[in-house]
């Protein structure tokens, strides 16, 4: 059965444009502000929302997302509250796909079976768990797929043609291509190399390919959208949120607007590519 993610990418294909995937950390800088920001993202132009599950040892994340996770944990965010965040989001938006992104330890502690039941009930559509390789699919990936959740896998510039089939074997929804080697937000991707990499992945799969890591501006997003099915932006949005906080790290009256303004700019950049090509 098609999921919200499948349906959204089919819609994007019909519209002839790439999508914008936005990442925010659950509970950053506090639960209420996080819910307000995430609830405002679709209207600002987000096609898919990734929500980070705060974790104390985020090995793939750069300083901005690490700091966001620590702010959220300090404010009392838990995995249970993250699922509640999704549940409350679903009271105002039944259509925008939600992907939870994070690490396996909190899910393991919560309990895999209970997590999958609660995630589906809350309205989660997919999972990205960056520290579970294909060799560990029986831990979470296969149970998630059986339950009806998409399991999105990351491919990187070092994932060669020999490794790709294993990475893609149980991937669903879309493939997340990490455009740079390194942590999130650490460099700006080269659009030509990204386009070549996406073409190589597409020789192995019919799934959409979303590209993230290092996209910071509307021009970056526009460049990447020319060769990808979707553009993922996280660190730049977290930076914008962080810069809106007061000296004590609390949200201000500008916090939601600061994030949504950048999302609108990024969405315009992404959407301009295919429109221009069709004219």
> Domain residues of the chain, as ranges?
4-272
- Over residues 128-148, mean pLDDT: 95
The pLDDT of residue 118:
98
* Tokens linked to 193: 């190399």
Residue among 30, 61, 118, 229 flagged as catalytic = 61
61 a catalytic residue:
yes
Residue 277: is it exposed, middle or buried by C-beta count within 10 angstroms (0-12/13-18/19+)? exposed
**Alpha carbon distance 226, 210 (integer Å):** 12
- The span from the CA of 143 to the CA of 190, in Å, is 36
Q: Where are the alpha helices (DSSP H) in 75-171?
A: 79-89, 104-110, 112-122, 141-147, 164-168
Backbone angles phi, psi at 208, to 5 degrees: -65, 155
CATH 3.10.20.30 fits 4-272, yes or no: no
Position 7 pLDDT exceeds 60? yes
Q: For residues 55 and 103, give the distance between their C-alpha atoms in angstroms, rounded to a whole number.
A: 7
Q: What is the pLDDT of residue 179?
A: 83
Instruction: Assess whether 30 carries a catalytic annotation.
Output: no
Is the pLDDT at 275 greater than 70? The verdict is no
Whole-number Å distance between alpha carbons of 96 and 123: 10
- Smallest CA-to-CA distance from 177 within 46, 218, 193, 240 is with 193
- 32 CB-near residues (< 8 Å, 6+ apart): none
For residues 215 and 45, the model is more confident at 45
Pull the structure tokens for residue 70.
């620590």
Model confidence, pTM: 0.94
Span 183-190, average pLDDT: 65
Tokens representing residue 4 in the block: 């919200």
Give the per-residue pLDDT at 183.
59
**Closest by Cα among 132, 124, 80, 86 to 105:** 132
- 27 or 183: which leads in pLDDT: 27
- Residue 279: the pLDDT is 45
Find the farthest-apart pair of alpha carbons in the chain and give their distance in angstroms, rounded.
52
CA-to-CA dists, residue 197 to 99, 134, 157, 158, angstroms: 23, 20, 7, 10
Q: How confident is the model at residue 185 (pLDDT cuts 50, 70, 90)?
A: low
Residue 182: band (very low, low, confident or very high) from pLDDT cuts 50, 70, 90: low
Out of 6, 28, 30, 50, pick the active-site residue.
50
């Amino acid at each position: 059965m098609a999921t919200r993610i499948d349906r959204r990418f089919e819609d994007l294909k019909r519209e002839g444009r790439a999508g914008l995937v936005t990442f925010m950390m659950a509970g950053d800088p506090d639960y209420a502000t996080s819910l307000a920001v995430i609830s405002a993202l679709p209207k600002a132009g987000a096609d898919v929302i990734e929500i980070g599950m705060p974790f104390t040892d985020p090995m793939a994340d750069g300083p901005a997302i690490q700091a966001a996770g620590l702010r959220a944990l300090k404010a009392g965010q838990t995995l249970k509250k993250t699922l509640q965040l999704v549940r409350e989001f679903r009271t105002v938006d039944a259509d925008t796909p939600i992907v939870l992104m994070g690490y396996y330890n909190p899910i393991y502690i919560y309990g895999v079976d209970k997590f999958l039941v609660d995630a589906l009930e809350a309205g989660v559509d997919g999972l990205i768990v960056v520290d579970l390789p294909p060799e560990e699919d029986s831990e979470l990936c296969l149970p998630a797929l059986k339950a009806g959740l998409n399991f999105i896998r990351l491919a990187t510039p070092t994932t060669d043609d020999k490794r790709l089939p294993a990475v893609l074997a149980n991937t669903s929804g879309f493939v997340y291509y990490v455009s740079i080697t390194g942590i999130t937000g650490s460099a700006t991707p080269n659009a030509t190399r990204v386009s070549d990499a996406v073409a190589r992945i597409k020789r192995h799969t019919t799934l959409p390919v979303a590209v993230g890591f290092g996209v910071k501006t509307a021009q970056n997003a526009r460049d990447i959208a020319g060769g990808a099915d979707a553009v993922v932006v996280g660190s730049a949005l977290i930076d914008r949120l962080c810069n809106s906080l007061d000296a004590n790290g609390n949200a201000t009256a500008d916090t939601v607007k600061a994030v949504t303004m950048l999302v609108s700019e990024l969405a315009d950049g992404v959407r301009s590519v295919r429109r221009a090509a069709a004219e």
